[in-house]
Amino acid sequence: MAETWGFPIALDLFFAGLAAGAFCLSVFAGRKKGEGFEALSRAGAFLAPASIVFGLAMLTLDLMSRERFWYTLSVFNVTSPMSMGAWLLTLFALVSVAYGLCRLPGPVLSRVPVAGGAVARRRAVCLRVLGTAGVPLALAVSVYTGVLLSVSSLPFWRNGALPALFCSSAMTTGFAGGALAALRTGAPEAMERPLLWLRSAYRVLLSCCLAFALLFTVLAFLNTQRGDPCRLFTGWTGALWWAGVVGLGILLPLALMADGERTGRRRLAAAFWLVLAGGFLLRLVIVFAGQA
């Protein structure tokens, strides 16, 4: 059976989650003073809209009738996670683009047509409002992808741990993306304290990921139909799950971040890349394994 959803959907799930996480990172990091936190916040602010737009493009590309994508905004089907997701994505995209624009330097922002000037004068307020509105939206976006799959009829996807798993992965990948961008732009000394903060945050985030990944595995195993293999233990999906998603994407980063006071930037950067790769493999394996 050729799968209905493939690569484009896996990419969409990944980039939507990443956008949600990057947005949250931006809002949270913006609470702290300091150049490093400022760099983190800015990185997240620009990464989120770019990522969500790319994710939406992937989603639209996957439609058999691409030019009809806007039909989803003429309907509000409360029972459909796909419908709610379309609205959430759209609203979140709008908020994150606006938030990103607000992060532009003053002179640049003033030149944005329509409200640019007015917003430039009240930047802080706008950022606060958009941030407050955006975080719940981001949370909902990160969860909806999991709900979408888990209320379908495919037994592998109907897994209660999926929404939480996707949510935690969204946060880890979003934070990782923002951190990597900030490491490029921020001065090394300024990044010390943010990196420390990120490390301790990641211990919690990755532990959550691990917990939900294991819970997902157990439930998937219990859920398998008679005679069918559990795809987390066989084939390329099984290999990628343990080696890629759990091993490289969660355990190795945890190990890399386990050191004492000072952790090399290179090690942290490597850990962030691994988290990104693992996050993408997570979506890939789950999308394909469910339809096998």
Tell me the C-alpha distance between 245 and 252, whole Å.
10
> What's the number of CA atoms in the CB half-sphere (13 Å) around residue 50?
11
Contact with other proteins (CB under 8 A): which of 10, 13, 99, 100? 100
Would you say 158 or 267 has its CB closer to other proteins? 158
* Interface with other proteins, residue 132, by CB under 8 A: no
Would you say 73 or 118 has its CB closer to other proteins? 73
Q: Which of residues 68-87 bind other proteins (CB under 8 A)?
A: 68-69, 71-72, 74-75, 77, 79-83, 85-86
Asked whether the beta carbons of 240 and 203 are under 8 A apart, the reply is no
Q: Which of residues 175-234 bind other proteins (CB under 8 A)?
A: 181, 184-185, 187, 193, 197, 200-201, 204-205, 208, 212
Tell me the C-alpha distance between 194 and 15, whole Å.
24
Would you say 242 or 263 has its CB closer to other proteins? 263
Instruction: Report the first-to-last Cα separation within the chain, whole angstroms.
Output: 7
> Other CB atoms closer than 10 Å to residue 260's CB: what's the count?
5
* Interface with other proteins, residue 283, by CB under 8 A: no
Q: Which of residues 140-179 bind other proteins (CB under 8 A)?
A: 140, 142-143, 146-154, 157-158, 160-164, 166-168, 171
Closest CA to 284 of 2, 1, 12, 93: 12
Closest CA to 162 of 64, 285, 44: 285
Q: Which of residues 35-54 bind other proteins (CB under 8 A)?
A: 35, 37-39, 42, 46, 49-50, 53-54
Shortest Å distance, C-beta 264 to other proteins: 21
Shortest Å distance, C-beta 37 to other proteins: 8
Q: Which of residues 1-30 bind other proteins (CB under 8 A)?
A: 4-5, 24, 28-29
* Interface with other proteins, residue 61, by CB under 8 A: yes
Residue found by looking up tokens 């947005």 in the block: 23
Would you say 49 or 253 has its CB closer to other proteins? 49
Shortest Å distance, C-beta 256 to other proteins: 20
Shortest Å distance, C-beta 32 to other proteins: 5
Shortest Å distance, C-beta 8 to other proteins: 11
Shortest Å distance, C-beta 57 to other proteins: 6
Point out which span in 67-75, 116-124, 248-256, 275-283 binds other proteins (CB under 8 A).
67-75
Total residues contacting other proteins by CB under 8 A comes to 83
Residue found by looking up tokens 């790769």 in the block: 277
Asked whether the beta carbons of 268 and 199 are under 8 A apart, the reply is yes
Largest Cα separation within the chain, whole Å, is 65
Closest CA to 217 of 238, 194, 203: 238
Q: Where are the alpha helices (DSSP H) in 103-161?
A: 106-110, 116-121, 123-150
Asked whether the beta carbons of 156 and 223 are under 8 A apart, the reply is yes
Contact with other proteins (CB under 8 A): which of 66, 121, 203, 266? 66
Strand, coil or helix: what is 104?
Answer: coil
